[in-house]
Structure 1
Amino acid sequence: MPPSVPPASPSSHNGPPRLPREARITAALIDLADTLVEDFDPAEFFYRVAEHCMDLLDIGDAGVMLALPDGPLQLVAASSERVRLVELFELDANEGPCRTAFYDSVPVDHPIDGEPANHWPRFSIRAHDAGYTSVHATPIRLRGQTIGVLNLFRRVPGPLLAADRHLARALADATAISLLQQTTLDQHRTVRTQLETALKTRTAIEQAKGFLTARHGTDPAASFDHLRAYARKNHLRLVDLARDLVAGTVTIPPPPGTDRTTARP
C-alpha cells in the first residue's frame, strides 16, 4: 500500500486547498537551498524567506533584518507595508526584541498588550498601534556569527507555539546555510559581498516601489507586488528591474484594474 499522506489544508476564500503542512515545509527548505545558480538574486531570496515564514508559521507578518560584520542592523525584506514601518521604527528608535535577538544572539519572545512595557516601551506602543499582539525574533547565525534576524509578528493573542519556534529556527538556519553555499559558485565572492549586495538592493527596490506608487496611483504594497510579479514573469532580477525602472530605461504597465486616469504619463 502507498504511504499515507496527511490531508490537504481546507479551502478558504484565498483559493483552493493547499498542500499538507509537512509537504510545504519540505518544499520551503528545498526552495531556500536552491541558491547554487549564477543569477542568484539576494533581494528576491530574502523576500521568499519572509513568504515561507508567512505560509508555514502562525503569524500575521514577517520581516528579515541583516547586518554586515561590525555594521548596523538593516531591514532587507518585509511581508507587508505595515510591518515594514514597524521594523524601521524599531531600528530608528534603537530598541526592540529584534535588535536584542541580534545583539545577544538569542531568540526573544515579547508580548504586546497595550499596557506600559518595561522593555522597549516605544517599540511596544508602535507595534500595538499597528495591530500586533506579540513578536518572536530568531537570530540568523552563520559559522557561529549572528548575521541577521527573522522577526515574526502575531495579530492574535498568545505567544508563538513551541513547534513554530522550532520551525522558525530551522528556517533561519536554512537561510544562513543557503547564503554560505551560494558563495561556492565563485571563490572570489564572500559572505560579506552577499550581505552588501542584499543591503544595497533594498535602496533600489524602495526607490522603484515609490516610483510605481506615484506613477500608477497605487499603494506601496500593491506597487511592490506588481514589481515582483513583473520581474518573475519576464525572468528578470528584481534589483535589475528596479534600477532600470528608476533610470527610465524600462517601463511597467499599470497592474490590471488600475484606474488609468489616476496614472501619471
Structure 2
Amino acid sequence: MTTIPTRDESAFPVEFADLTESLVNDYDPIELLSRVTAICVDLLPVQAAGVMLADQWGALGIIASSSEQMHLLELLQLQTNNGPCLECYRTGEPMNTLDLSGPGASRWPEFARRATAAGFRGIAAMPMRLHHDLIGALNLLSEQPVPLSHYESRVGQALADLATIAIVHERTLRRPELPVEQRLAVLNQRVIIEQATGMVAQAGGYDISEAYAVLRRRARESGRRLTDLATALVEGRIAVAEADPPG
C-alpha cells in the first residue's frame, strides 16, 4: 500500500529545533505539549493528535489535544478503559495506522464507532518512555487509514520522546523530584488549565477549543506561562476579563 508522504519533510528539523530550544529556556510543559500535538498535525499525514500521561498508579490522564474532537475521543478511552492509546501504553509498542472501519472496529468497538462518526478512519500511537518505564502515549488520528512510512513513524516517535523529555526536564530544573512526582505535577497543571479554560468559555460564550486558544494567546501576549495565568485565574488573583480582554 502506498503511503501518503509527510506534508513537508524539510520542515521537521526547523520545528524540532524550535521545540528543543524551548527546553533550555523557561517553558510551560502543557503549552509545549500542546505545540507537540499541533506539530504532529503539521508534519504528519494525520488530522488530530493527543498526549496522555500516567499517574503513580498507572492510570492515564489527558494532557494535550490538538482539537476538541481529539480531547473527547481521548476521554472516551478513559471512560471505557479501552482504546488504542491505552493499548499502546500497556504494551509499550508503537502502533502503526490501523483501519478503524476494519481491524480497529473489533478491537475497540466504541472508540472506532465514535472516531469514524467524527470523520477519522486511521489510528496510530507512539509510546512515551522514561528509561525502562512507560509514562504515557501519543495518539495520532487520520481521515484515511494509510500506514505511516518508516520516516513518518520515526518523526512520530521523536515527538513522543521530546514530549517525555519536556515533562521530566521542566520539573527537574525547578525542583528535583522522583519521575512519578514530576508526572503528577504536570497532570495537576492540566486540571488547573481546564478549570481556567471553562471559566473563560463561560464568561465569553466560547466553546472549549476557542477558550483554550484565548487563554494561550493571552499567556503569550502577557509574557506569562500558561499554567501561571490559569492558576491566577482559578485562584481569583486576576479577573476573567484580564485573561480575555476586549479586542
Query: TM range, normalised to the smaller chain?
Result: 0.7 to 0.9
> Which structure 2 segments of 5+ residues have no match?
1-6
Give 1:58's aligned residue: 45
Give 1:204's aligned residue: 192
Counterpart Cα distance in 2 of 1:117 and 1:187: 44
Counterpart Cα distance in 1 of 2:77 and 2:166: 27
Assess if the C-alpha contact under 8 Å between 2:216 and 2:226 holds in 1: yes
Give 2:90's aligned residue: 103
Query: Which secondary structure state, in structure 1, belongs to the residue aligned with residue 123 of structure 2?
Result: strand
Question: Is 1:252 aligned with 2:240?
Answer: no
Distance 1:105 1:214, change over 3 A: same
Give 2:122's aligned residue: 134
TM value normalised by structure 2: 0.86
Distance 1:135 1:234, change over 3 A: same
The code of the aligned residue for 2:57 comes to: D
Deviation of the 1:43 alpha carbon: 1.4
Assess if the C-alpha contact under 8 Å between 1:140 and 1:146 holds in 2: yes
The code of the aligned residue for 1:56 comes to: L
Give 2:179's aligned residue: 191
Normalized per residue, the structure richer in helix is 2
Assess if the C-alpha contact under 8 Å between 2:68 and 2:209 holds in 1: yes
Counterpart Cα distance in 2 of 1:182 and 1:54: 24
Assess if the C-alpha contact under 8 Å between 2:197 and 2:208 holds in 1: yes
Q: 1:47 aligns with which of 17, 27, 34?
A: 34
After superposition, where does 1:113-152 map in structure 2 within 5 Å? Answer: 113=101, 117-152=105-140
Deviation of the 1:115 alpha carbon: 9.1
Considering Cα pairs closer than 8 Å and 6+ residues apart, tell me whether 1 or 2 has the greater RCO: 2
Query: Which secondary structure state, in structure 2, belongs to the residue aligned with residue 159 of structure 1?
Result: coil
Deviation of the 1:93 alpha carbon: 0.6
Counterpart Cα distance in 2 of 1:186 and 1:234: 22
Query: Which secondary structure state, in structure 1, belongs to the residue aligned with residue 46 of structure 2?
Result: coil
Tell me how large the CA RMSD over aligned residues is: 2.2
Q: 1:27 aligns with which of 11, 14, 34?
A: 14
The code of the aligned residue for 1:138 comes to: M
Give 1:164's aligned residue: 152
Question: Is 1:215 aligned with 2:203?
Answer: yes
Query: Which secondary structure state, in structure 2, belongs to the residue aligned with residue 118 of structure 1?
Result: helix
Distance 1:65 1:255, change over 3 A: farther
Distance 1:222 1:143, change over 3 A: same
Assess if the C-alpha contact under 8 Å between 2:82 and 2:108 holds in 1: yes
Task: Give CA deviations for 1:147-172 in whole Å, capped at 9, x if unaligned.
Answer: 11110000234233332112101212
Counterpart Cα distance in 2 of 1:40 and 1:201: 13
Assess if the C-alpha contact under 8 Å between 1:114 and 1:128 holds in 2: no
Counterpart Cα distance in 2 of 1:67 and 1:171: 17
Assess if the C-alpha contact under 8 Å between 1:101 and 1:138 holds in 2: yes
Query: Which secondary structure state, in structure 2, belongs to the residue aligned with residue 113 of structure 1?
Result: coil
Question: Is 1:93 aligned with 2:69?
Answer: no
Assess if the C-alpha contact under 8 Å between 1:32 and 1:175 holds in 2: no
Question: Is 1:231 aligned with 2:232?
Answer: no
Counterpart Cα distance in 1 of 2:231 and 2:172: 27
Counterpart Cα distance in 1 of 2:232 and 2:104: 46
> Which structure 1 segments of 5+ residues have no match?
1-8, 10-19, 257-265
Assess if the C-alpha contact under 8 Å between 1:212 and 1:218 holds in 2: yes
| Rg larger in structure | 1
Question: Is 1:243 aligned with 2:234?
Answer: no
Assess if the C-alpha contact under 8 Å between 2:126 and 2:156 holds in 1: yes
